Amino acid sequence: MKGNEGNHERVLEDVAAKLRSLLPKELGVTRIAYEGPEVVVYARNLIPIYEKPDLIRNIARTVRKKIVVKPDEQVRKKESEAAKIIRQIAGEEGEIVNLEFEPSTGEVIIVTNKPGYIVGKGGRRLKRIIAETGWKPVVMRNPPLQSATITQIRSFYRENTKKRINVLLEIGSRIHRPLLFKNNYVRITGLGAFREVGRSAILLETKESKVILDFGANVSSYEPQKHFPKFENIDIDEIDAVVITHAHLDHCGLVPWLYKYGYRGPVYVTHPTRDLMVLVQRDYIEVARKEGRFPPYSESDINSMLLRTFSLNYGEVTDIAPDIKLTFHNAGHILGSAMAHLHVGEGLFNIVYTGDFKYANTRLLDKANTQFPRVEAVIMESTYGTQDQPPRALAEKNLIEIVNKTLEKGGFILIPVLAVGRAQEVLLLLIDAIKNKLIRGKEGEVPIYLDGMVYEATAIHAAYPEWLSRSLKERILRGENPFLAEFVKKVESDITSGGVKREDVLKSEPGIIISTSGMLTGGPAVEYFKKLAPDPKNSIVFVSYQASGTLGRKLKEGINRVELPVLEDGKQRVVSIDVKMHVFSVEGFSGHSSRTELIEWLRHLTPKPKHVILNHGESSRIDGLAKIVGKLRCSNDRMCLPKNVKIHTPNIRDSITFVEEDI
Ligand SMILES: [Zn+2]
């Protein structure tokens, strides 16, 4: 990150003068500051903003900056006093569950069972709250499951208000520094997940800025050469921003490691990704410790990241460097997953980095976005590049059949999952199937055990109904909790909160165990596997992609004896385990697009790109997909790719440079 502090003052002064002339006088503007990617206007009276919802949007368009109006500290009532007033305005009927004040933003989060009532007709109650307390109300529905992670993250920000404000100012001045160079090239370099799957990372460079897109770990290997993205020749101080598409470890797992080595810039994510990312990173540390590996970063590095994390909505245009704007769009892969649209220079070049995406509706999410304002280049995932998947309905039928057959024999069904995404998709299906008696146990309803982070990840899903599929959102808004039922049991190491102890699960009546990790690279799923593997009554069912080299992949390929470390009396020794349980793989649940869906997405993509860069796939899949994409070239159909489209299939460390003449 380069700073030009002197000049930036002048830039801010220009913007501030323009804003003062455009904003209505009754706001009573006290000061204007750059805070992170936003220009924050402090005002004594926010009512005009509530009365004219388009006002700020229109002004933002004129000055081409993201503008947020916050109440001036001076007009804010003391928290205890403000709380009293808010409770009075809401009355008993408002059903306020909790009030959380966030001094760094001037917001008060009102957690309620009746969000509509708190808002009131035409925002009537919100206006009263802001006028009488000086705090900006943010209304949140009381989620049907409580997430410990979300609670902790909110209190982290409250405890670190001063630090957060300093970070906002520092990052703000860097983002809005004056442009030193006129752009004349855009370069992307693959740091990880090019001709492979895992450790996703891309460097995007212009003459002015450097941005990292995803920074993941390769969980199928812990050798440093294979586990980390290829980061050796990059100066950490020169990075302006890190953009994370979604909260899977292979996309976000090593972001705190950047902070450990001195990165102090911002990370951009969607709101749900922030919470899920912290959850999976904490788990990554814990699993490493339990398995006797030295974690590459610690909780304090996660906190350092959190202090500099900016969470965004889909469709929100944000300056992340003097010459780069970022907008996230739905990717349909997991909760909060995003495609990153990067607008470089003044219309010089537009890149869509898809991250992982699903171009089909699932129980959990609506399908990925295809409409962008401009696109010159697409960097597209190719996980299932040459492979189609059976229809979802068939996959569901197959899974239910395996579950029933195993239960008839009196066996357990182990479903290893990534905690975020497949776990909830499969859970929703199984809950519905049990409720509709499509799955029957010998003694009534079959128990589903959720172990590892699955329960907590599910609670985070329940907190973001607006980010889920339309049908699921409606169910949650009706007050239903589709993620929970009597027969769903939380497994924990201590059972103070009413769950089941892990060692008791296998002593209970047979049921379904949904547990991490998805590729059996660690976590409780491996512990269950060790105990269940020798008995042919039991089944293991893979529902997601198994990377080469993982235990999951080996089992899928038919290995019948595995060597695994076990901990006995505090000492680790390796034992040999005969795999007699049935190994199934049900295709069709993937959160990734199948070959057909990848192609359909490209056909529907608007506008059409001039470059298609394929990544996130094994070499054979990438080469196969490149051939198929090549056949999409034609000139007489708007679903085609342009005749001169360039298809790139780079290796790790390869760079592709786009210069003005090229574009
Ligand atoms: Zn993913």
139 CB-contact burial (10 Å; exposed 0-12 / middle 13-18 / buried 19+): buried
User: How many Å lie between the centroid of ligand 1 and the Cα of residue 251?
Assistant: 7
What are the residues whose beta carbons fall under 8 Å from the beta carbon of 549, sequence distance 6 or more?
A: 220, 221
Place 484 in a pLDDT band, splitting at 50, 70 and 90: confident
User: How many Å lie between the centroid of ligand 1 and the Cα of residue 632?
Assistant: 26
Distance of alpha carbon 497 from alpha carbon 494, whole angstroms = 8
Domain 5-74 and domain 76-161, same fold? Reply is yes
User: How many Å lie between the centroid of ligand 1 and the Cα of residue 593?
Assistant: 11
Whether the pLDDT of residue 325 is over 50: the answer is yes
User: How many Å lie between the centroid of ligand 1 and the Cα of residue 151?
Assistant: 25
User: How many Å lie between the centroid of ligand 1 and the Cα of residue 249?
Assistant: 8
User: How many Å lie between the centroid of ligand 1 and the Cα of residue 591?
Assistant: 7
User: How many Å lie between the centroid of ligand 1 and the Cα of residue 339?
Assistant: 12
Give, as residue ranges, everything with CB less than 5 Å from ion ligand 1: 248, 356
* CATH code of the domain occupying 184-387+592-662: 3.60.15.10
Whether the pLDDT of residue 483 is over 70: the answer is yes
Distance of alpha carbon 361 from alpha carbon 356, whole angstroms = 15
**pLDDT, tens digit, 9 for 90 and up, residues 242-287:** 999 999 999 999 999 999 999 999 999 999 999 999 999 999 999 8
User: How many Å lie between the centroid of ligand 1 and the Cα of residue 248?
Assistant: 5
Query: Which pLDDT score, from 0 to 100, does residue 8 have?
Result: 57
> Which CATH number among 3.20.20.70, 3.40.50.2300, 3.60.20.30, 3.30.300.20 corresponds to the domain 76-161?
3.30.300.20
Residue for token pair 């990241």:
305
Q: Mean per-residue pLDDT for 578-602?
A: 95
Query: Which pLDDT score, from 0 to 100, does residue 1 have?
Result: 46
User: How many Å lie between the centroid of ligand 1 and the Cα of residue 572?
Assistant: 32
**439 sits in which H/E element:** none
Query: Which pLDDT score, from 0 to 100, does residue 62 have?
Result: 87
The topology (CATH level 3) of 404-585 is Rossmann fold (3.40.50)
Place 446 in a pLDDT band, splitting at 50, 70 and 90: very high
User: How many Å lie between the centroid of ligand 1 and the Cα of residue 198?
Assistant: 9
Tokens in use for 260? Answer: 């450990």
Place 183 in a pLDDT band, splitting at 50, 70 and 90: low
User: How many Å lie between the centroid of ligand 1 and the Cα of residue 333?
Assistant: 7
Report H helices in 409-556. 422-435, 454-462, 470-477, 502-505, 524-532, 551-556
User: How many Å lie between the centroid of ligand 1 and the Cα of residue 594?
Assistant: 14
Bridging pattern class, strands 500-501 and 377-381: unpaired
Distance of alpha carbon 175 from alpha carbon 356, whole angstroms = 27
Query: Which pLDDT score, from 0 to 100, does residue 362 have?
Result: 93
Tokens in use for 484? Answer: 């929970």
User: How many Å lie between the centroid of ligand 1 and the Cα of residue 500?
Assistant: 29
Mean pLDDT (the chain) is 91
pTM: 0.90
User: How many Å lie between the centroid of ligand 1 and the Cα of residue 518?
Assistant: 11
Whether the pLDDT of residue 46 is over 90: the answer is no
Place 297 in a pLDDT band, splitting at 50, 70 and 90: very high
**pLDDT, tens digit, 9 for 90 and up, residues 610-662:** 999 999 999 999 999 999 999 999 877 888 999 999 999 999 999 999 876 55
User: How many Å lie between the centroid of ligand 1 and the Cα of residue 581?
Assistant: 28
Query: Which pLDDT score, from 0 to 100, does residue 661 have?
Result: 58
Question: What is the phi/psi pair of residue 310, to 5°?
Answer: -120, 125
User: How many Å lie between the centroid of ligand 1 and the Cα of residue 470?
Assistant: 21
- For CA atoms 118, 123, 128, 131, give the dihedral sign: positive
Taking a C-beta distance cutoff of 8 angstroms, is the pair 201, 231 a contact?
yes
Name the residue ranges covered by the structural domains of the chain. Answer: 5-74, 76-161, 184-387+592-662, 404-585
Tokens in use for 380? Answer: 């597209």
Distance of alpha carbon 29 from alpha carbon 583, whole angstroms = 66
User: How many Å lie between the centroid of ligand 1 and the Cα of residue 100?
Assistant: 32
User: How many Å lie between the centroid of ligand 1 and the Cα of residue 603?
Assistant: 22
Tokens in use for 106? Answer: 């001037």
Place 495 in a pLDDT band, splitting at 50, 70 and 90: very low
Whether the pLDDT of residue 210 is over 70: the answer is yes
Taking a C-beta distance cutoff of 8 angstroms, is the pair 595, 386 a contact?
yes
Query: Which pLDDT score, from 0 to 100, does residue 308 have?
Result: 97
* CATH code of the domain occupying 5-74: 3.30.300.230
pLDDT above 90 as % of the chain: 69
Taking a C-beta distance cutoff of 8 angstroms, is the pair 48, 24 a contact?
yes
Whether the pLDDT of residue 3 is over 50: the answer is no
Whether the pLDDT of residue 2 is over 60: the answer is no
User: How many Å lie between the centroid of ligand 1 and the Cα of residue 405?
Assistant: 31
pLDDT above 70 as % of the chain: 96
Q: Compute CA 315 distance to the chain's CA centroid, rounded to the nearest angstrom.
A: 15
Query: Which pLDDT score, from 0 to 100, does residue 118 have?
Result: 95
Whether the pLDDT of residue 349 is over 80: the answer is yes
User: How many Å lie between the centroid of ligand 1 and the Cα of residue 62?
Assistant: 37
User: How many Å lie between the centroid of ligand 1 and the Cα of residue 422?
Assistant: 10
